Amino acid sequence: MKTLSKISTLAAAATMSLAGLASAETIKIGVSYPTPTHAWAAGMNWHAEQAEKRLEALYPDVDLVLINSPDPSAQASALEDLVSVHGIDALVVLPFESEPLTDPVLNVKKSGALITVVDRGLSQPGIEDIYVAGNNPELGRVSAQYMKTRLESGDNIVVLRGIPTLIDNERFDAFMAEMEGSGVNILDHKHANWNRDDGFEVMQDFLSRFPDIDAVWAQDDDIAIGVVAALKQAGRDGDGMFVVGGAGMKETIKGIMDGNELVPVDVLYPPSMIATAMDVTVAAFKSNGPVAGRYILGATLITKENAASFYFPDSPF
Amino acid sequence: MTETAMTQTPKSRFQNFDFKTAGPAIALILLCIIGFLLNPAFLSEGNITNLLTRSAFIGIIAVGATFVITAGGIDLSVGSMAAVIAGVMIIVMNGAVDTFGTGVTTVLIGCGCSVILGIGAGFINGFLTTKGKIEAFIVTLGTMGIFRSLVTYFADGGTLSLNYDIRGVYRPVYYDSFAGLPIPVWVFIVVAICGWLLLNRTAFGRYCTAIGSNESVARYSAIQVDRIKTWTYVLQGLCVSLATIIYVPRLGSASSSTGVLWELEAIAAVIIGGTVLKGGYGRIGGTILGALILTTIGNILNFTDMISNYLNGTMQGLIIIVAVWLQRGDWGRKHKNN
Q: Where are the domains of chain B?
A: 37-337
Residues of A in contact with B50 (CB under 8 A): 201, 204-205, 208
Residue of A nearest to B174 (CA): A233
Residue A317 has pLDDT above 70, yes or no: yes
Contact status of A270 with chain B (Cβ, < 8 Å): no
Q: What pLDDT is attached to residue A17? A: 46
Contact status of B152 with chain A (Cβ, < 8 Å): yes
User: Which residues sit opposite A247 in a β-bridge?
Assistant: A268
Q: What 3-state class would DSSP assign to A293?
A: strand
Distance from CA of B9 to the nearest CA of A (A): 47
pLDDT band at B326 (very low <50, low <70, confident <90, very high): confident
Longest Cα pair distance anywhere in chain A, in angstroms?
Answer: 90
For A179, residues 6+ apart whose C-beta sits below 8 A from its C-beta are A144, A147, A148, A186
Tell me which DSSP letter residue A247 carries: B
Buried b or exposed e, range B230-253, using 16+ CB within 10 angstroms: bbbbbbbbbbbbbbbbbbbbbbbb
Report the candidate in A270, A276, A264 with the shortest Cα–Cα distance to residue A248.
Answer: A270
Burial class (CB in 10 A: 0-12, 13-18, 19+), B316: middle
In chain A the domains, ranked by start, together with CATH numbers, are: 24-134+271-286 (3.40.50.2300), 136-267 (3.40.50.2300)
Residue B116 has pLDDT above 50, yes or no: yes
Q: What pLDDT is attached to residue A219? A: 93
- N- to C-terminal Cα distance for chain A? 61
Rounded distance, CA B278 to CA B285, Å? 18
- N- to C-terminal Cα distance for chain B? 20
Residue B265 has pLDDT above 50, yes or no: yes
Residue of A nearest to B250 (CA): A229
Residues of B in contact with A42 (CB under 8 A): 155-158
Best of B170, B251, B262, B316 to mutate (most A CBs within 10 Å, chain A): B251
Angstrom CA distances, B3 to A196, A198, B287, B335, stand at 45, 41, 20, 18
Residues of A in contact with B310 (CB under 8 A): 164
Q: Name the strand (E) or helix (H) holding A187.
A: strand A185-191
pLDDT band at B50 (very low <50, low <70, confident <90, very high): very high
Q: What 3-state class would DSSP assign to B159?
A: strand
Residue of B54, B253, B309 with shortest CB distance to A164: B309
Distance from CA of A47 to the nearest CA of B (A): 13
Burial class (CB in 10 A: 0-12, 13-18, 19+), B179: exposed
Residue A240 has pLDDT above 80, yes or no: yes
Distance from CA of A248 to the nearest CA of B (A): 14
Residue B14 has pLDDT above 70, yes or no: no
For chain A, the average pLDDT equals 89
Angstrom CA distances, A40 to A249, A265, A272, B116, B290, stand at 8, 18, 10, 32, 35
Rounded distance, CA B142 to CA B33, Å? 41
Contact status of B155 with chain A (Cβ, < 8 Å): yes
Report the candidate in B88, B115, B122 with the shortest Cα–Cα distance to residue B237.
Answer: B122
Distance from CA of B137 to the nearest CA of A (A): 23
Give every strand in the sheet of A27-34, ordered side by side. A62-69, A27-34, A90-93, A114-118, A130-133, A293-296
Q: How far is CA A207 from the centre of its chain?
A: 31
| Chain segment B201-234, per-residue pLDDT in tens | 999 999 999 999 999 999 999 999 999 999 999 9
Rounded distance, CA A73 to CA A18, Å? 31
Q: What pLDDT is attached to residue B291? A: 95
Distance from CA of A86 to the nearest CA of B (A): 27
Contact status of B86 with chain A (Cβ, < 8 Å): no
Single-letter amino acid code for the residue at B132: G
Buried b or exposed e, range A12-36, using 16+ CB within 10 angstroms: eeeeeeeeeeeeeeebbbbbbbbbb
Contact status of B171 with chain A (Cβ, < 8 Å): no
Report the candidate in B214, B211, B213 with the shortest Cα–Cα distance to residue B203.
Answer: B211
Of A17 and B98, the structure prediction assigns the larger pLDDT to B98
| Chain segment B128-161, per-residue pLDDT in tens | 999 999 999 999 999 999 999 999 999 888 889 9
For B232, residues 6+ apart whose C-beta sits below 8 A from its C-beta are B67, B68, B70, B71, B73, B126, B208
Q: Do B302 and A317 touch (CB under 8 A)?
A: no
Q: What pLDDT is attached to residue B24? A: 86
Best of A208, A221, A222, A254 to mutate (most B CBs within 10 Å, chain B): A208
User: What does the angle CA B315 – CA B318 – CA B324 come to, to the nearest 5 degrees?
Assistant: 140
Rounded distance, CA A79 to CA A51, Å? 20
Residues of A in contact with B44 (CB under 8 A): 208
Q: For residues B65-72, give the mean pLDDT.
A: 96
Report the candidate in A98, A161, A148 with the shortest Cα–Cα distance to residue B308.
Answer: A161
Contact status of B161 with chain A (Cβ, < 8 Å): yes
Strands (E), A86-184: 90-93, 114-118, 130-133, 156-161
Single-letter amino acid code for the residue at B290: G
Q: What pLDDT is attached to residue A3? A: 52
Residue A5 has pLDDT above 50, yes or no: yes
Q: What 3-state class would DSSP assign to B316?
A: helix
Q: Do B302 and A205 touch (CB under 8 A)?
A: yes
Rounded distance, CA A110 to CA A128, Å? 12
Backbone angles phi, psi at B177, to 5 degrees: -120, 155
Residue of A41, A190, A201 with shortest CB distance to B309: A190
Backbone angles phi, psi at A11, to 5 degrees: -60, -45
pLDDT band at A31 (very low <50, low <70, confident <90, very high): very high
Contact status of A69 with chain B (Cβ, < 8 Å): no
Q: What pLDDT is attached to residue B3? A: 46
Contact status of A312 with chain B (Cβ, < 8 Å): no
User: Which residues sit opposite A266 in a β-bridge?
Assistant: A302
For chain B, the average pLDDT equals 89
Q: What pLDDT is attached to residue A6? A: 54
Tell me which DSSP letter residue A65 carries: E
Q: Please say whether the beta carbons of B322 and B60 come within 8 A.
A: no
Q: What pLDDT is attached to residue B225? A: 95
Q: Do A201 and B312 touch (CB under 8 A)?
A: no
**What is the CATH number that goes with domain B37-337?**
1.10.3470
Q: For residues B244-268, give the mean pLDDT.
A: 92
Global ipTM: 0.84
Q: Do A38 and B175 touch (CB under 8 A)?
A: no
pLDDT band at A122 (very low <50, low <70, confident <90, very high): confident
Residue B7 has pLDDT above 50, yes or no: no
